Amino acid sequence: MKTAYTADQIRQAEQALMARLPDGTLMQRAAAGLAAVCADLLGRVYGSRVVLLTGSGDNGGDALYAGQRLARRGARVGVVAAGSKTHEAGLRALLDAGGRVVDRSAIDEADLIIDGLVGIGVSGALREPYAELAQQAAAARGQVVAVDVPSGVDASTGRVEGAAVRARVTVTMGAYKTGLLVDPGAAHTGRVELVDIGLGPYLPDPDVAALTDADLDVLLPRPGNESDKYRRGVLGVAAGGDLFTGAAVLAVGGALRGGAGMVRYAGRPAPVAQVRSHWPESVVTELDEPSITRVGRVQAWVLGPGLGTDDWAHELAAEVLASDVPVLVDADALTLVARDRSLLWRNAPVLITPHAGELARLLRADRDAIEAARLEHARRAAAELGVTVLLKGSTTVVAEDARPVRVNPTGTSWLATGGTGDVLAGLAGALLAQGLSCYDAASCGAYLHGVAGRLAAEGAPLAAGDVATALPRAIRAVTSAIS
């Protein structure tokens, strides 16, 4: 599992480690790692043109000492000092190695630009001349390498409140920072290279975490020799209506392809006909009234995709949420609970799967504010509503009160098409029915959904049904062979 930390957590760990080491040791370790990554990017160091953008903090020192190492290997290294002061020892070391102080025009001719303008402790919009230098670096032809975190990106949240450096590579020291994994900051980082400087024993519990294939291999349920369709998890799906019959088809498809032993679908006549046609494996109950008494026993429910928001839908949602099993609440059901939060007052677990607009309605917040601070609002919703939150978007995050937020590392922009959320709801619901907690079902569901999206797209447009079809391949891709 990849773990990440806030700026405060990193600084406390650094202070604990520095108390045991000679002065300057951490900076030299960081500079050595930074210089090695830069050398690999350049390929041929001798004769290359490198420009350092430095502020007055330790990131500037890291850049200067890395510049010293590159200058010793024959690079032509110049420094644009933006701060009111410069790391004196680092600047002296660079000049002694043949580096020089240059003006900002050198940025445009550089083969490599090292961003050491501000460190992890800086938040809010960049001030001048930092903002203008960040914009100039973004427009330059040379490769940009950020030290620790791109300047202008909040290391603790991923917020970007103005101009920010866009790096090809971010070389981060000691541990991943939260802002490197969460949009909009993640969009500025490029490839992230972690340099081990010895912080490991001093790091606290992480702020956020990202699953890996190895985690999925452990977490995903597998059928055993004694398994039958009931033991493998029975999922109820209450979705689809006269207007959106396809949502029911896609949710049921995501559940079946996601490994549910049985899917019991309940809905109105129009979606019932479509589900029967597409998925004869499902057990279908046509509802003439908003009641689930005839559906049969299930281990979890998916509620909401395409359901509608009229009184009939509200009554059905109330019936499902009055049950004693976990319920995944999506799409139209989120609109219903935004109007009537009392629907969420239940003893059994609830997983909600909103996009930013739906979460804005639930929290009575601004959508743009949610997009700018996804972690903050996902955490707020989990605490305020007493649920697990899977907030969909460019960075999908999973929040549960008093636990590290999980950030999903998989996916493709081709998933931004109608119906893919319905497939995700069915998939995560199937994992709930198979016994995973809301926290794990949401995290594993998002991960597999992203992998399936990549497999289905292969760099070209996809339809939601393609994602459902690709789910078995995605499961095979991230797990060991199933006996």
pLDDT at 224: 73
Question: For 207, which DSSP code?
Answer: S
Question: Which sequence spans correspond to the domains of the chain?
Answer: 2-207, 213-478
- 241 in a known ligand binding site: no
The answer to the question of whether 47 is labelled as a binding residue is no
The annotation status of 130 as a binding-site residue, yes or no, is yes
Q: Among all chains, which residue has been given the structure tokens 């999903």?
A: 408
Q: For residue 49, what is the DSSP state?
A: E
What pLDDT does residue 481 have? 42
Q: Is 392 labelled as part of a ligand binding site?
A: yes
Is residue 395 part of an annotated ligand binding site?
A: yes
**Per-residue pLDDT, 228:** 66
Q: Which of 158, 56, 70 minimizes the C-alpha distance to 114?
A: 70
Residue 122 annotated in ligand binding: yes
pLDDT, tens digit, 9 for 90 and up, residues 215-262: 999 999 988 767 667 778 999 999 999 899 999 999 999 999 999 999
CATH of 2-207, one of 3.40.50.10260, 1.10.150.80, 3.40.50.970, 1.20.1250.20: 3.40.50.10260
Name the CATH superfamily for 213-478: Ribokinase (3.40.1190.20)
Please tell me the predicted confidence (pLDDT) of residue 318. Answer: 97
- Position 57 scores a pLDDT of 87
Q: Is 119 annotated as a binding residue?
A: yes
Structure tokens, 463: 């339809």
Residues 378-407 have pLDDT tens digits of: 999 999 999 999 999 989 999 999 999 999
E-assigned strand segments in 130-199: 143-147, 169-173, 176-177, 191-195
Say whether 254 counts as a known binding-site residue: no
pLDDT bracket for residue 285 (50, 70, 90): very high
pLDDT at 483 over 80: no
Q: What is the mean pLDDT of residues 55-82?
A: 96
Distance CA 433, CA 256 (A): 11
Task: With 0.75 as the threshold, say if the pTM is over it.
Answer: yes
pLDDT score recorded for residue 130: 95
Flag whether 115 is marked binding.
Answer: yes
User: Mean pLDDT of all residues in the chain?
Assistant: 95
Residue 23 assigned as binding residue: no
Cα dihedral sign for 95, 101, 102, 104?
positive
Question: Is residue 111 part of an annotated ligand binding site?
Answer: no
Q: Is the pLDDT of residue 181 over 60?
A: yes
Structure tokens at 108: 């445009």
Q: Answer yes or no: is 352 a known binding residue.
A: no
Over residues 339-379, the pLDDT tens digits come to: 999 999 999 999 999 999 999 999 999 999 999 899 999 99
123 assigned to a ligand binding site = yes
The pLDDT > 90 percentage for the chain reads 92
Between β-strands 388-391 and 397-399, what pairing exists: parallel, antiparallel or unpaired? antiparallel
Is residue 60 a known part of a binding site?
Answer: yes
Question: Is 372 marked within a binding site?
Answer: no
One fold for both 2-207 and 213-478? no
Contact in structure between 386 and 365 (CB atoms under 8 Å): no
- Looking at the chain, the whole-number percentage of residues with pLDDT higher than 70 is 99
Mean pLDDT of 329-340: 97
Q: How far from chain centre, in Å, is Cα 163?
A: 22
**74 assigned to a ligand binding site:** no
Tokens 């992890």 belong to 120
